[in-house]
Amino acid sequence: MVESCYRTHKTLINPIIDWDDEFLWWYIRKENIIINPQYNNGCPGGCQRIGCIGCPMGGARRWAEFERYPKYRDAYIRAFDKMLEARKAHGNKHIPGWDSGLKVFKWWMEDDNCDGQLSFDIDGNIFEDYIR
């Protein structure tokens, strides 16, 4: 696939964009391409994708990533602390429940709700803890 980037005025070529996983892995093996070792054994059962630690697209495995790489978890928390300081310095409205970088981190990881945010069970019922 060929496309133009309007921002940089460059032509981009994506030769493997339409390859499915099976063909991609066949090609990697055929050409003896060295791959990131996490695809083989760095993750339990191997990984289908290697991305940023803590990526929201990573789903539930983010907790395991942050357990394995606690310095990254701590960096996210420090970044959220700095974000809160910047929000305060710019006069932004306080968000209830965002009292620290850790609380923002837990909310971001979907482990905590802010006031006014509802949580539902699989049947669509509101969890009683969040009814005020």
- What are 15-50's pLDDT values in tens digits? 888 888 788 889 988 999 998 877 765 555 556 667
Q: Are residues 74 and 108 in the same domain?
A: yes
Q: Are residues 82 and 125 in the same domain?
A: yes
SS3 assignment for 99-130:
CCHHHHHHHHCCCCCCCCCCCECCCCCECHHH
pLDDT-derived band at 132, boundaries 50, 70, 90 = very low
The answer to whether residue 28 is domain-embedded is yes
The answer to whether residue 62 is domain-embedded is no
Domain count, the chain: 2
**Segment 86-111, tens digit of pLDDT:** 999 999 988 888 999 999 998 888 76
Top pLDDT among 116 and 32 is at 32
Tell me if 96 sits within 8 A of 90, measured CB to CB.
no
Q: What is the pLDDT of residue 131?
A: 42
Q: Are residues 38 and 76 in the same domain?
A: no
Q: Are residues 6 and 30 in the same domain?
A: yes
Phi, psi of 2 (to 5 degrees): -115, 135
Q: Give Cβ neighbours of residue 40 (< 8 Å, ≥ 6 apart).
A: 46
Top pLDDT among 47 and 82 is at 82
Q: What is the pLDDT of residue 119?
A: 66
Q: What distances in angstroms separate CA 118 from CA 41, 57, 92, 112, 123, one per listed residue?
A: 38, 22, 23, 10, 14
Top pLDDT among 130 and 92 is at 92
Across the chain, what does the average pLDDT equal? 81
- Expressed as residue numbers, the domain containing 12 is 1-55
Q: Are residues 46 and 5 in the same domain?
A: yes
